[in-house]
């Protein structure tokens, strides 16, 4: 398995533009997680899905952020409109369904909003 | 919000020495996990210890969990330069879901 695949690796965009981050989880992993990492706040859970259904989106900062998982092999995180304070590394992770499994993380998308 | 808090924030040791990192948390947990992150990369799962376990080993790693003190430690024995990375503890809550809450991490530098 190629692991969790995220794209793009780097994204530089202008304030106000729409940004879409993509994630392909490991096949057979039915839980998918979106995290954001910054120096100030560390790793924050934004949203997670079980069996393609959003379970907890309480970490989504505001309505500018949205996430979808249309099928078991694909998820997107969209920011519209983007702001400079959204600059961070965004990670996608997946795991088997259940409570006692480790997560497999993707390599992340480094987002810079100028 | 942060659940686990690692200590120290930064650790610098000589190759061959042991590295001990600590994590404290506030609420009841189902399990506690440790992850490693190399610069510019994603996190890598190292080890998971369940709330009813007290100690676990994996290669050069030893993890302990004390639920009465709400703390865990990660010991890396005979450290190598390649162990240089950030290490995070993460706690799994006791609810029906599987989400993890991560600490801010410990930066470990192993000098050759």
DSSP-derived secondary structure letter, A25: P
Q: Which residue in chain B has the smallest CA separation from A107? A: B42
Return the residue in B3, B10, B31, B42 with the most chain A beta carbons within 10 A, the one to mutate for interface testing: B42
Q: How many residues are given for chain B? A: 112
Give, in degrees to the nearest 5, the angle at Cα A110 between A109 and A111.
105
- Give B30's contacts in chain A (Cβ within 8 Å): 99-100
Helices then strands, counting H and E runs in chain A, come out as 0, 11
- Give A106's contacts in chain B (Cβ within 8 Å): 42
Percentage of chain B modeled with pLDDT above 70: 96
Give, in degrees to the nearest 5, the angle at Cα A61 between A57 and B28.
55
Residue B2 has pLDDT above 60, yes or no: no
Cα A105 to Cα A3, A5, A25, A79, A89: the distances in Å are 8, 9, 9, 21, 12
- The whole-angstrom distance between A3's CA and the closest CA on chain B is 11
Q: Render pLDDT for A56-82 as a digit per residue (tens, 0 to 9).
A: 999 998 899 999 999 999 999 999 999
CA torsion sign for A93, A97, A99, A100 is: negative
Strands A65-71 and B5-7: unpaired
Q: Render pLDDT for B22-69 as a digit per residue (tens, 0 to 9).
A: 999 998 999 999 999 999 999 999 999 999 999 999 999 999 999 999
Q: Is A86 helix (H, G, I), strand (E, B) or coil?
A: helix
- Give A42's contacts in chain B (Cβ within 8 Å): 2, 102-105
Contact A50/B98, CB-based, under 8 Å?
yes
């Amino acid at each position: 398995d190629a692991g969790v695949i995220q794209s793009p690796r780097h994204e530089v965009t202008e304030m106000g533009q729409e940004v879409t981050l993509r994630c392909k989880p490991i096949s057979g992993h039915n839980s998918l997680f979106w995290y954001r990492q910054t120096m100030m706040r560390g790793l924050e859970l934004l949203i997670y899905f079980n069996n393609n259904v959003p379970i907890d989106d309480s970490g989504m900062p505001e309505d500018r952020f949205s996430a979808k998982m249309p099928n078991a092999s694909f998820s997107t995180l969209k920011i519209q409109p983007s702001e400079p304070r959204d600059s961070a590394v965004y990670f996608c992770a997946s795991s088997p369904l259940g409570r006692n499994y480790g997560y497999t993380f993707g390599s992340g998308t480094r987002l810079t909003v100028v | 919000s942060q659940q686990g808090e690692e200590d120290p924030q930064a650790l610098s040791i000589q190759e061959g020495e042991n590295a001990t990192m600590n994590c404290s948390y506030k609420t009841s947990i189902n399990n506690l996990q440790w992850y490693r992150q190399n610069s510019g990369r994603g996190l890598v799962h190292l080890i998971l210890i369940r709330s009813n376990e007290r100690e676990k080993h994996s290669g050069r790693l030893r993890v302990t969990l004390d639920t009465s003190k709400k703390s865990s430690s990660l010991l890396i024995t005979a450290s190598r330069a390649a162990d240089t990375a950030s290490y995070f503890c993460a706690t799994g809550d006791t609810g029906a879901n599987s989400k993890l809450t991560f600490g801010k991490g410990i930066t470990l530098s192993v000098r050759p």
